[in-house]
Structure 1
Amino acid sequence: MEKNNLEPNNDDVCEIYDSHADAVERVKERMILEEEYSDLSEFFKIFGNPTRLKIISLLCIEDLCVCDICEALDLNQTTVSNQLRILRANNIVKYQKEGKMARYSLTDLHIEMIYKVGLEHILE
């Protein structure tokens, strides 16, 4: 991933301050509520942990039990269970008991799409 040069140079700001009222009004009409921005920010924080992203990536391929996730990621069950608990609490994954096993899956296609679009973005 190429990093942008963030050195200040003043080329990245308007030389005069003259907002466009019509454009401002159009975008303000479509803004979501402050609480929704806050909820969205919290949602994206969930994707900010490499272990949780690895779990999501596996579940994009197929539903897996906790033991399979541990083996695939070479992590202990406590670590995986803690991350799954966070993902479950934020409605990213769900599980279904199959006898003595807990099989995890993504809650819906949106989660897979978010993961894949993010991956596509960093790989371009």
Structure 2
Amino acid sequence: MMEARQMVCTGKHDGLTAEEASDLYLLEEGTAVATAEIFKAMSDPTRVRIIGLLAHVEMCVGDLCQVLDMSQPAISHHLRILRALRVAAARRDGKHIFYSLVDDHVRQLYEQGIAHARHE
């Protein structure tokens, strides 16, 4: 029976060894987890649509329900996820809570995703 051997490239990659590339470009575990969490927020089509709206205008749950034709519990569920993942922020104004994106980085990431999806 043949022994299973691990295949390892030892050549250069764009002028760098694998170890050199790793030292320069491999993300630390914590940064990789935080980045994956942002992409997790965008892994659901409804959340992407909410992010798309919030990228341009602050909205309350009722307005999101109306324009997305979804129930209040469903929209609230997605907003909870977006807030937990630090993508959306909320502010109270009287009886209403208005939602927006936490910063411009999220909007830019959304716009890059849309540009990539539309690119042929």
TM-score, normalised to structure 2's length? 0.82
> SS of the counterpart of 2:100?
strand
Is residue 26 of structure 1 aligned with residue 26 of structure 2?
Answer: no
User: With CA pairs under 8 Å and 6+ residues apart, which has the higher RCO, 1 or 2?
Assistant: 1
* Alpha carbons 2:90, 2:98 under 8 Å: kept: yes
Identity %, equivalent residues: 33
Is residue 48 of structure 1 aligned with residue 43 of structure 2?
Answer: yes
Aligned equivalent of 1:66 = 61
Spell out structure 1 runs of 4+ moving beyond 3 A: none
* Alpha carbons 2:89, 2:99 under 8 Å: kept: yes
Is residue 76 of structure 1 aligned with residue 71 of structure 2?
Answer: yes
Structure 1 segments unaligned to the other structure (5+ residues): 1-16
How far the C-alpha of 1:85 sits from its partner, in A, is: 0.3
One-letter identity of the residue aligned with 2:39:
F
